[in-house]
């Protein structure tokens, strides 16, 4: 899975359509995917943050929808997933993409659970 740059996303000329949801925080997506491909909303867009991702040769998007940037960064825990137009044949299933993301999110959640724990052991002589 590769996060595309703005130029790569624009040059791909691929449109995506809503295909499902992924449960994650903004911080988790940053940790997994890096900075969003697009993160500037001039007030005319319906999204504030959007990642364009190449997965098994197909482009997917993850994006917020109709909310404020502050809400997405601080409170949002469910994001939209877009996939290349459904009428194209031979495309990777959105379920496969979402499952891959779920596994990566689960991995970082497990790492964070353990990294937040501090164990103090006292040895008596």
Helical (H) or strand (E) element with 72: helix 69-74
Helical (H) or strand (E) element with 80: strand 78-84
Q: What is the pTM of this model?
A: 0.79
Q: Would strands 50-55 and 2-3 be described as parallel, antiparallel, or unpaired?
A: antiparallel
Beta-carbon contacts of 6 under 8 Å, excluding residues fewer than 6 positions away, are 37, 38
pLDDT digits (tens, 9 = 90+) for 29-67: 999 999 999 987 777 788 889 999 999 888 999 999 888
Domain borders along the chain are 2-115
Can you give the pLDDT at residue 70? 80
Query: What's the pLDDT band for 28 if we cut at 50, 70, 90?
Result: very high
Average pLDDT on 71-78 reads 84
Beta-carbon contacts of 92 under 8 Å, excluding residues fewer than 6 positions away, are 55, 56, 57, 58
pLDDT digits (tens, 9 = 90+) for 77-124: 889 999 987 555 566 788 889 999 999 999 988 876 555 555 455 566
Measured in degrees and rounded to the nearest 5, phi and psi for residue 55 equal -135, 115
């Amino acid at each position: 899975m590769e996060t595309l740059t703005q130029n790569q996303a624009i040059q791909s000329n691929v449109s995506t359509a809503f295909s499902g949801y992924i449960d994650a925080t903004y911080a988790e997506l940053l940790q997994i995917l890096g900075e969003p491909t697009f993160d500037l909303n001039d007030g005319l867009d319906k999204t504030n943050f959007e990642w364009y991702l190449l997965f098994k040769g197909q482009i997917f998007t993850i994006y917020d929808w109709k909310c404020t940037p502050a809400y997405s960064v601080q409170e949002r825990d469910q994001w939209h997933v877009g996939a290349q137009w459904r009428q194209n044949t031979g495309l990777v299933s959105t379920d496969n993409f979402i499952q891959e993301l779920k596994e990566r999110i689960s991995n970082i959640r497990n790492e964070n659970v353990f990294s937040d724990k501090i164990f103090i052991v006292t040895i008596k002589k």
